[in-house]
Amino acid sequence: MKKFISFLILSFSFWCVAQDKAVVSDWTAVAQSVNVQDKQNWKFRVSAKIRKENDNNAKCAIWVRIDKLDNTIGFFENQAYSDITVTSEWKTFTIEGTIDSSAKTLNIGAFARDNGDFYFDDFKLEVTNGKSKKWTKIALKNNDFEEDLMSNDWREGISKDKKHIKNFTVQTSENKPFSGKKSLLIKGENIIGNMPHGKFAEVNGIKMYYETYGEGEPLLMLHGNGQSISAFMNQVEDFSKKYKVIIVDCRERGKSTYDKTKELTFDIQVEDLKQFLEQQNIKKVKILGWSDGGILAILMALKHPDLVDKIACSGANIFPEGITDKDLEDMKETLAKLIRENKNGKNDVYIDLYNLDLKYPNLKYENLKAIQCPSLIIAGDKDEIKTEHTVKIAEFIPKGQLAIIPNSSHYVPEEKPELFNSLVMDFFEGK
């Protein structure tokens, strides 16, 4: 994805696109909100006990978000994106900060990502007005989870509306609580990208993580900038009924490693993929790419046409200016902030990912005439990629087809998975 940090941390976009069904995602959150309009500019600290079991290096953490009076987001921290270490033993984790001057509510939550059993207990919220060193405890509802989870206490989701995530169960548990008789248990199951059958392939100086599903003709799925294998949670089940679906974590994403001495470019990722396919003894492959994964699909078709049968690309651009002006400017501002705040290299990977999309690729429309395989070019009508850019990509590919999905954004594969999957499947199956 282009705006990957907002996708991963701030906007939690998948809750915004849920319709009548339970949402499919690789993460969930449980939250409680506290009105803090009378405590603006006060200091706060939130703490909880956490432990986990049966996980495969999965993430769990506490998070805090301030919602302001104008409905924008103020303070935000999710410790899942820091260097905390959660083990099978109970340990206290704390987030401290300042309540924004225009704050309305302070949201406290538990976060879990991928497969595993994640336990939380003994949430606490304390505040001080800064005039004294004394911290005042603010009562939280059912903070120790001794009572059953109720809608007016904790809710599944990160907004006022409850949203159930299909791959998780949220309940109280009597399994080794920190105190009392119960704790909160968030259990993740059958989440792709963190499955026991996952493997690593050593290619091009890195270890590339991948998972396979189904049998038949190979179909390679390539995720976007700030994503990983789990981006295709809405696609794997449908496509694995027909194809041998191969999904990989591109270098510096998910579980795949990277070489810090080499610049992250699309060309080096294309070489990763070429070596991976050769190692897997795959002679010809269909490719479904989303966002940066779509860019990689286009480049694979250009650089290694003998390996590529068909490509379907959603939300891809062939030069940075193909991104909308606003999104491009937002990316530049975020990169500058990441560089300013890069203490002890904590933002190095994020900086690499932003630079990737701000500097590359550097194709021209004329280059696309060399693509000989059938190519389906997809975008939402409200995509981060300019519509005219998407149209021209399809027009310049000799066997290009175009699909602009109405009432959709850059996240059309998860916003409208049934339509998206049917469209791509029909294209792959067509002669």
**pLDDT single digits (tens) 180-195:** 999 999 999 999 999 9
How many residues are given for the chain?
431
- Distance in angstroms (rounded) separating the CA atoms of residues 373 and 126: 61
Per-residue pLDDT at 230 = 92
Whether the Cβ atoms of residue 260 and residue 34 lie closer than 8 Å to each other:
no
Confidence of residue 343 (pLDDT cuts 50, 70, 90): confident
Out of 86-95, 154-163, 235-244, least confident range: 154-163
Mean pLDDT of 41-65: 95
pLDDT at position 335, please? 96
Q: What is the pTM of this model?
A: 0.85
Exposure string of 357-375, with b = 16+ CB inside 10 Å and e = fewer, is: beebbebeeeebeebebbb
Which among 128, 73, 148, 83 has a CA at the least distance from the CA of 104? 73
Left, alpha or beta for 165 (phi > 0: left; psi -120 to 50: alpha)? beta
- Residues 383-399 have a mean pLDDT of 98
Q: Cβ-count burial of 387 within 10 angstroms (0-12 exposed, 13-18 middle, 19+ buried)?
A: middle
Query: How far is C-alpha 217 from the geometric centre of its chain's CA atoms?
Result: 28
Could you give the domains of the chain?
A: 24-188 (2.60.120), 199-429 (3.40.50.1820)
pLDDT given for residue 220 in this prediction: 98
Q: What average pLDDT does the structure give for the chain? A: 92
198-226 average pLDDT score: 97
**How does residue 160 score in pLDDT terms, banded at 50, 70 and 90?**
low
Q: What is the torsion angle, in degrees rounded to the nearest 10, for the CA atoms of residue 224, residue 230, residue 233 and residue 239?
A: 70
Q: How far is CA 320 from CA 247, 347, 369, 414, in A?
A: 25, 22, 19, 24
Residue 373 backbone dihedrals phi, psi, to 5 degrees: -85, 155
pLDDT number for residue 11: 34
Confidence of residue 10 (pLDDT cuts 50, 70, 90): very low
Does 19 have pLDDT greater than 90? no
Secondary structure class of 202 (helix, strand, coil): strand
Per-residue burial over 267-286, b = 16 or more CB atoms within 10 Å of its CB, e = otherwise: ebbbbbbbbbbeebeeeebb
**Torsion angle of alpha carbons 340, 341, 345, 346, nearest 10°?**
-150
Model confidence band, residue 1 (pLDDT cutoffs 50, 70, 90)? low
